[in-house]
């Protein structure tokens, strides 16, 4: 789901930076009240672990493909939402800088889409209410059940939110001509599958930790201690409703918005390509955003920073024959720079 | 080579490039950061049909590649991650936007084609810019520059520490993956029976490792303030670099150099 | 100077690891700390550094170990961890070496001078700006020692300094250890290394002292060593 710089308008990228920056500021502030210094190495090591863990291929039984983990839910279940969020920021920043996975200016949007939902929404709306709630009754088995349920629901919900945001951001940027509805219909179901797999992986890891070192998982102690805790049935119901709404919405959009002909064919093919790229198969689980981007066309009518050249206006692309000639000259200049550079380097190695 | 080993190799290449010496490498990390951000923002802001205006922006990264001696090949290797995504989005444009906006002789080009090409070029340019930043600046200096502009201390420290342990843990996972596949030949990925324990084992070990690291920090005087040798001060050349870069980008953004150059020869 | 006076320590689970332990190490002495796995070697070190707190009195760097003295004691004590990756938490060797001096209030110039001095002494100048994750095992251990020496400690504690090193690097580390004039406490299963670096050996068994004496003598006692899951050092068994 990593977005590239090219897919965003500066205003959208800036707005997402502000949103993510605010969430980061709040997290930092809250973390200061906790025992922050001791937590730093823990966060760093966990972030590094998730970074590496994202590269593991998990075979999905019954299919030839493999799934991946993104880690937002896992980190917030281990470190809490604030520390988890900051760790995710760092992971995304390193991926962006060293692996070109997501753009530097798109980082704000990527943090929002992948870290904010996974950590804050996933934790406060799903993880905590469920773990401290009363599902499946009392005892260790029930608690494990709640961990599994919370992991899966959390991953599904947060990936749906993330996918929807990708569509929204690209559309607002006016980059693609793809209709908004079609884009949504493309993104949501794919991420339903991805979310399910991610949820299963996350729950497997958390259950393992729960068996061996339960004290490492957030809210487990509270769940154990608070047999007298308030029933959070209301919250749980709210969570369930939210998930149903999102999933249902995504599915119905898919069902209803499929026109015939070219568009459908394109979507269909693209969907496959997407699925393959996006974590249902080997390599590049980060590729999801392309597809997302397509959907984004509330069109350039709403585009930020409209430019001087519009279709229909005179000399629209700023192009014309003179434009082409000029571009060729620029390209020539680039070649010359390269030649000069090469010449000097050769000279240097000779003299050296 | 499994995926983790590839990632390690990629990380190693970046470290190696950033440790080289050139006049670009020697610039202040903050200046490079600022110019990179300005470059990307301006590239992003070009209108989707403004292909001819965008093309001259190519000159800047080309110039930097040449001066710094960073191989372009390494950068283009990373395109495999950026391009598919950008292309998937861009490829729809020719189908949805068929209005003809450019005619060259008998050839007519639709807006969709132009906007697709613009999008791809933007993808390449943004990648080159951020790649050049990291390839010419050691990571600890980028962090020091962030700290100098009052980026939150905790986040910068976390960035430094994580960067350090990404290498360590990726290596451990690479070895574990190797060991797993040696005992499970023919399996493409991790079998469902080991989904939890595979990463879980390493997770538990890593939690203990975190405690050791904390001890190591405490024993060397860590007191909530993370001190490391800061970047040198901003020098004249850094100011010059920043000013030249930013004003050049602004110029290219508002003046269509391709068009101007072309009109010297045509008409 | 290090002194343990009737020190006991038990983990939360109730398992007692150190029982009524008393010993004294004079300034400048080099002492090997040996014993089977779980005999309490690491615990002794952690107690000395105030990473764990037990009962009884501990004197470290000439100071009584308590909360008030802890910062000063830690400043005067260098601890070389078994896993250098845990110890070297900064991106480069240089950053790591600067960490402690800067924390202890040195200016950048002073700290830099000290870093260069230590690197020269250990013949490690070439590694100054290397990335920690690119160092080989031997280089990493040498660099870890360098980060500790940059603190100019009075006492150096080492946990398995020669573990996982090839013979060449092991030799090199031994030579470097012998070149250090500080008080040294070295915990290890590598008895040949202990023999080469320490004049005195403390043998721990289930949290108590099973033997304390000249290295040559303790390490020659085959029965005692074998009772503690150890073996005669190669260099002594040949004779």
Cβ contacts of C131 on chain B, cutoff 8 Å: 15, 19
The Cα A12–Cα A168 span in angstroms is 10
Of C53, C84, C64, C48, nearest in space to C157 by CA: C48
Which range (A130-144, A263-277, B47-61, C94-108) has the least confidence? A263-277
pLDDT in tens, chain B (267 residues): 688 888 999 888 898 899 889 999 999 999 999 999 999 999 999 888 888 889 999 999 999 999 999 998 888 888 887 777 788 778 878 877 777 877 777 778 888 888 888 988 999 999 999 999 999 999 888 988 888 888 888 899 899 999 999 989 999 999 888 888 888 877 778 888 888 888 888 898 888 888 889 888 888 888 777 776 666 788 899 999 999 999 999 999 988 888 888 888 776
Q: Which of B55, B158, B177 sits opposite A44 (nearest CB)?
A: B158
Q: CB contact, 8 Å: B78 with chain A?
A: yes
Indicate whether A288 pLDDT > 80: no
Give A185 or B60, the one with higher predicted confidence: B60
Q: CB contact, 8 Å: C74 with chain B?
A: yes
Q: Name the closest residue on chain C to residue B139, using Cα atoms.
A: C91
Give C12 or B127, the one with higher predicted confidence: B127
Q: Which of B48, B88, B122 sits opposite A291 (nearest CB)?
A: B88
Please answer yes or no on whether B164 and C134 come within 8 Å at the CB atom: no
Please answer yes or no on whether A45 and B59 come within 8 Å at the CB atom: no
Helix B236-254 and helix B29-45, axial crossing angle in degrees, nearest 10:
0
Cβ contacts of A177 on chain B, cutoff 8 Å: 92-93, 95-97, 112, 115
Q: Name the closest residue on chain A to residue B159, using Cα atoms.
A: A90
b/e per residue B209-224 (b: at least 16 CB within 10 A): bbebbbbbbbbbbbee
Q: Can you tell me whether residue C50 is helix, strand or coil?
A: coil
Please answer yes or no on whether C49 and B160 come within 8 Å at the CB atom: no
Q: Please, which chains are in contact with C (at least 3 CB pairs closer than 8 A)? A: B
List all residues of chain C from 110 to 149 with a beta carbon under 8 Å from chain B: 111-112, 129, 131-134, 147
Please answer yes or no on whether B82 and A326 come within 8 Å at the CB atom: no
B34, β-bridge pairs: none
Q: Can you tell me whether residue C21 is helix, strand or coil?
A: strand
Please answer yes or no on whether B59 and A334 come within 8 Å at the CB atom: yes
Distance of CA C96 to the CA centre of its chain: 18
Segment of A254-258, A262-266, B90-94 carrying the highest mean pLDDT: B90-94
CB pairs under 8 A between A and B: 404
The Cα C94–Cα C128 span in angstroms is 5
State the DSSP code for C188: -
Cβ contacts of A1 on chain B, cutoff 8 Å: none
Q: CB contact, 8 Å: C104 with chain B?
A: yes
Distances C185 to B145, B193, B212, B216 between C-alpha atoms, Å: 40, 46, 19, 17
- In a mutational test of the B interface, the residue from A63, A216, A274, A319 whose CB has the highest number of chain B CBs within 10 Å is A319
State the DSSP code for A282: S
What is the CA angle B180-B183-B188, rounded to 5? Answer: 60
The Cα C108–Cα B229 span in angstroms is 7
Segment of A297-301, A321-325, B194-198, C25-29 carrying the highest mean pLDDT: C25-29
Cβ contacts of B141 on chain A, cutoff 8 Å: none
Of A68, A117, A73, nearest in space to A217 by CA: A73
- In a mutational test of the C interface, the residue from B216, B217, B218 whose CB has the highest number of chain C CBs within 10 Å is B216
Q: Which of A178, A305, A333 sits opposite B59 (nearest CB)?
A: A333
Q: CB contact, 8 Å: C55 with chain B?
A: no
Strands, E assignment, chain A: 58-59, 66-67
Which range (A185-194, B144-153, B222-231, C56-65) has the least confidence? B222-231
Q: CB contact, 8 Å: B148 with chain A?
A: no
Where are chain C's structural domains? 2-237
- For residue C53, give both structure tokens: 């707190």
Region class of C199: left (phi > 0), else alpha (psi between -120 and 50), else beta: alpha
The Cα B173–Cα B202 span in angstroms is 8
Please answer yes or no on whether B56 and A287 come within 8 Å at the CB atom: no
Distance between C197 CA and the closest CA of chain B, angstroms: 24
Q: Please, which chains are in contact with B (at least 3 CB pairs closer than 8 A)? A: A, C
Q: Write the CB contacts of A161 (distance below 8 Å, at least 6 apart in sequence).
A: A113, A117, A121, A246
pLDDT at A21: 93
Of C54, C21, C64, C53, nearest in space to C39 by CA: C21
pLDDT at C239: 53
CB C4 within 8 A of CB C21: yes
Q: CB contact, 8 Å: B208 with chain C?
A: no
- In a mutational test of the B interface, the residue from A110, A176, A339 whose CB has the highest number of chain B CBs within 10 Å is A176
- In a mutational test of the C interface, the residue from B227, B231, B232, B233 whose CB has the highest number of chain C CBs within 10 Å is B227
* Residue written as token pair 């998730």: A50
How buried is residue C67: exposed, middle or buried, by Cβ count under 10 Å (0-12/13-18/19+)?
exposed
Q: pLDDT averaged over chain A?
A: 73
Q: pLDDT averaged over chain C?
A: 90
Where are chain B's structural domains? 20-137+235-265, 150-219
- In a mutational test of the B interface, the residue from C101, C103, C108, C144 whose CB has the highest number of chain B CBs within 10 Å is C103
Give A345 or A334, the one with higher predicted confidence: A334
Question: Which DSSP string corresponds to A46-76?
Answer: HHHHHHHHTTPPEEPTTSS-EE----HHHHH
Distance between A161 CA and the closest CA of chain B, angstroms: 20
Q: Which of B140, B160, B212 sits opposite C83 (nearest CB)?
A: B212
Q: What is the CATH number of domain C2-237?
A: 3.40.50.300
**Four-CA torsion C215, C157, A45, B1, nearest 10 degrees:** -40
List all residues of chain B from 203 to 242 with a beta carbon under 8 Å from chain A: 203-204, 206-207, 209-211, 213-214, 217, 222, 224
Q: Write the CB contacts of C197 (distance below 8 Å, at least 6 apart in sequence).
A: C30, C32, C174, C177, C178, C184, C186
Distance between B142 CA and the closest CA of chain C, angstroms: 12
Q: Please, which chains are in contact with A (at least 3 CB pairs closer than 8 A)? A: B
- Count Cα atoms within 13 angstroms, Cβ side, for B136: 29
How buried is residue C56: exposed, middle or buried, by Cβ count under 10 Å (0-12/13-18/19+)?
middle
Q: Which tens digit of pLDDT belongs to each residue from A72-101? A: 899 999 999 999 999 999 999 999 999 888
Which range (A21-35, A78-92, A239-253, B141-155) has the least confidence? A239-253
Of C49, C41, B203, nearest in space to A217 by CA: B203
Question: Which DSSP string corresponds to A265-279?
Answer: HHHHHHHHHHHHHTT
Helix C93-103 and helix C137-149, axial crossing angle in degrees, nearest 10:
20
Cβ contacts of B140 on chain C, cutoff 8 Å: 90-92, 95
Which range (A21-25, A346-350, C27-31, C192-196) has the least confidence? A346-350
Cβ contacts of A280 on chain B, cutoff 8 Å: none
Strands, E assignment, chain B: 100-104, 107-110
For residue B8, the surrounding DSSP H or E stretch is helix B3-18
Which range (A32-46, A259-273, B238-252) has the least confidence? A259-273
Q: Can you tell me whether residue A296 is helix, strand or coil?
A: coil
Indicate whether A298 pLDDT > 80: no
Q: Name the closest residue on chain A to residue B116, using Cα atoms.
A: A176
Please answer yes or no on whether A300 and B48 come within 8 Å at the CB atom: yes
Q: CB contact, 8 Å: B11 with chain A?
A: yes
Of C231, C228, C233, nearest in space to C36 by CA: C228
The Cα A172–Cα A246 span in angstroms is 21
The Cα B50–Cα B255 span in angstroms is 11
Q: CB contact, 8 Å: B159 with chain C?
A: no
Q: CB contact, 8 Å: C89 with chain B?
A: yes
Q: Which of B36, B51, B154 sits opposite A317 (nearest CB)?
A: B51
pLDDT confidence tier of residue A63, bands split at 50, 70 and 90: confident
Q: Name the closest residue on chain C to residue B216, using Cα atoms.
A: C87
Q: Which of B19, B223, B229 sits opposite C95 (nearest CB)?
A: B229
Q: Which tens digit of pLDDT belongs to each residue from A199-222? A: 999 999 999 988 888 888 888 877
Q: Name the closest residue on chain B to residue C109, using Cα atoms.
A: B229
Give the pTM: 0.82
CB B114 within 8 A of CB A317: yes
Q: CB contact, 8 Å: B53 with chain A?
A: yes
Q: Write the CB contacts of C106 (distance below 8 Å, at least 6 apart in sequence).
A: C114
CB pairs under 8 A between B and C: 89
Please answer yes or no on whether C89 and B222 come within 8 Å at the CB atom: no
- For residue B174, give both structure tokens: 């690479």
Q: Name the closest residue on chain C to residue B20, using Cα atoms.
A: C129
The Cα B174–Cα B99 span in angstroms is 51
């Amino acid at each position: 789901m990593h977005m590239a710089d090219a897919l965003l308008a500066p205003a959208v990228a800036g707005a997402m930076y502000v949103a993510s920056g605010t969430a980061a500021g709040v997290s930092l502030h809250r973390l200061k009240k906790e025992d922050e210094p001791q937590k730093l190495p823990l966060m760093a090591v966990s972030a590094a672990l998730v970074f590496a863990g994202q590269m593991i291929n998990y075979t999905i039984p019954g299919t030839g493909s493999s799934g991946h983990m993104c880690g937002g839910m896992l980190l917030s279940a281990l470190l809490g939402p604030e520390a988890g969020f900051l760790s995710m920021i760092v992971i995304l920043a390193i991926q962006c800088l060293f692996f070109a996975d997501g753009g530097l200016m798109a980082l704000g949007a990527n943090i929002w889409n992948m870290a904010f939902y996974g950590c804050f929404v996933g934790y406060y709306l799903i993880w905590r209410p469920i773990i401290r709630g009363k599902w499946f009754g009392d005892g260790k088995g029930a608690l494990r059940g709640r961990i599994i349920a919370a992991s899966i629901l959390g991953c599904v919900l947060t990936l749906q939110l993330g996918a929807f945001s990708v569509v929204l951001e690209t559309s607002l940027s006016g980059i693609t001509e793809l209709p908004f509805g079609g884009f949504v219909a493309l993104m949501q179901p794919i991420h339903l599958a991805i979310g399910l797999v991610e949820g299963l992986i996350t729950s497997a890891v958390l259950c393992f930790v729960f068996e061996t070192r339960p004290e490492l998982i957030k809210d487990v102690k509270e769940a154990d201690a608070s047999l007298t805790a308030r029933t959070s049935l209301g919250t749980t119901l709210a969570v369930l409703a939210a998930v149903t709404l999102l999933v249902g919405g995504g599915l119905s959009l898919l069902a209803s918005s499929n026109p015939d002909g070219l568009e459908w064919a394109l979507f269909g093919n693209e969907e496959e390509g997407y699925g393959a790229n996006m974590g249902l198969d080997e390599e590049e689980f980060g590729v999801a955003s392309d597809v997302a981007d397509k959907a984004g066309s509330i069109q350039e009518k709403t585009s930020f920073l409209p430019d001087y050249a519009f279709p229909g206006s005179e000399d629209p692309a700023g192009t014309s024959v003179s434009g082409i000639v000029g571009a060729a000259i620029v390209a020539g200049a680039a070649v010359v720079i390269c030649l000069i550079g090469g010449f000097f380097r050769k000279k240097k190695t000779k003299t050296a | 080579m499994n995926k983790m080993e590839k990632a390690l190799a990629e990380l190693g290449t970046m470290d190696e490039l950033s440790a080289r010496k050139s006049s670009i490498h020697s610039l202040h990390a903050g200046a490079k950061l600022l110019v990179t951000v300005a470059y990307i923002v301006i590239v992003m802001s070009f209108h989707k049909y403004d292909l001819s205006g965008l093309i001259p922006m190519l000159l800047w990264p080309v110039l930097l590649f040449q001066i710094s001696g960073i191989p372009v090949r390494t950068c283009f290797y990373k395109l495999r991650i950026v391009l598919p995504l950008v292309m998937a989005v861009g490829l729809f444009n020719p189908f949805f936007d068929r209005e003809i906006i450019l005619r060259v002789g008998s050839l007519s080009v639709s807006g969709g084609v132009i906007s697709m090409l613009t999008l791809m070029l933007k993808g390449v340019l943004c990648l080159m810019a951020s790649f050049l930043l990291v390839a010419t600046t050691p990571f600890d200096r980028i962090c020091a520059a962030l700290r100098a502009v009052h980026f939150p201390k905790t986040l910068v420290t976390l960035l430094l520490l994580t960067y350090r342990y990404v290498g360590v843990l990726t290596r451990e996972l690479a070895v574990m993956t190797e060991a797993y596949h040696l005992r499970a030949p023919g399996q493409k990925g991790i079998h469902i029976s080991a989904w939890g324990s595979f990463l879980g084992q390493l997770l538990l070990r890593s939690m203990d490792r975190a405690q050791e690291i904390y001890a190591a920090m405490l024993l060397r005087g860590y007191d909530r303030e993370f001190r490391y040798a800061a970047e040198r001060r901003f020098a004249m050349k850094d100011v010059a670099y920043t000013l030249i870069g930013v004003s050049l980008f602004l110029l290219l953004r508002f003046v269509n150099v391709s068009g101007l150059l072309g009109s010297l020869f045509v008409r | 100077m290090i002194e343990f006076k009737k020190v006991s320590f038990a983990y939360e689970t109730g398992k007692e690891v150190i029982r009524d332990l008393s010993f004294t190490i004079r300034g400048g002495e080099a002492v090997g700390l040996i014993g089977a796995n779980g005999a309490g070697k690491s615990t002794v070190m952690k107690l000395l550094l105030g990473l764990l707190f037990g009962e009884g009195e501990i004197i470290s760097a000439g100071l009584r170990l308590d909360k008030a003295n802890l910062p000063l004691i830690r400043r005067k004590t260098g601890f070389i961890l078994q896993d250098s990756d845990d110890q070297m938490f900064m991106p480069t060797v240089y950053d790591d070496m600067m960490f402690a001096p800067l924390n202890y209030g040195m200016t950048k110039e002073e700290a830099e001078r000290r870093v260069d001095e230590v690197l020269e002494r250990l013949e490690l100048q070439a590694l100054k700006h290397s990335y920690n994750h690119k160092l080989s095992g031997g280089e990493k251990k040498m660099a870890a020692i360098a980060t500790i020496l940059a603190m100019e400690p009075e006492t150096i504690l080492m946990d398995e300094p020669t573990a996982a090193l090839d013979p060449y690097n092991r030799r090199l580390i031994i030579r470097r250890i012998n070149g250090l004039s500080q008080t040294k406490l070295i915990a290890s299963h590598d008895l040949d290394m202990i023999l080469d670096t320490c004049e005195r050996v403390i043998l721990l068994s289930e949290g108590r002292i099973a033997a304390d004496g000249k290295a040559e003598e303790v390490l020659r006692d085959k029965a005692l060593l074998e009772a503690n899951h150890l073996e005669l050092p190669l260099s002594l068994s040949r004779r």
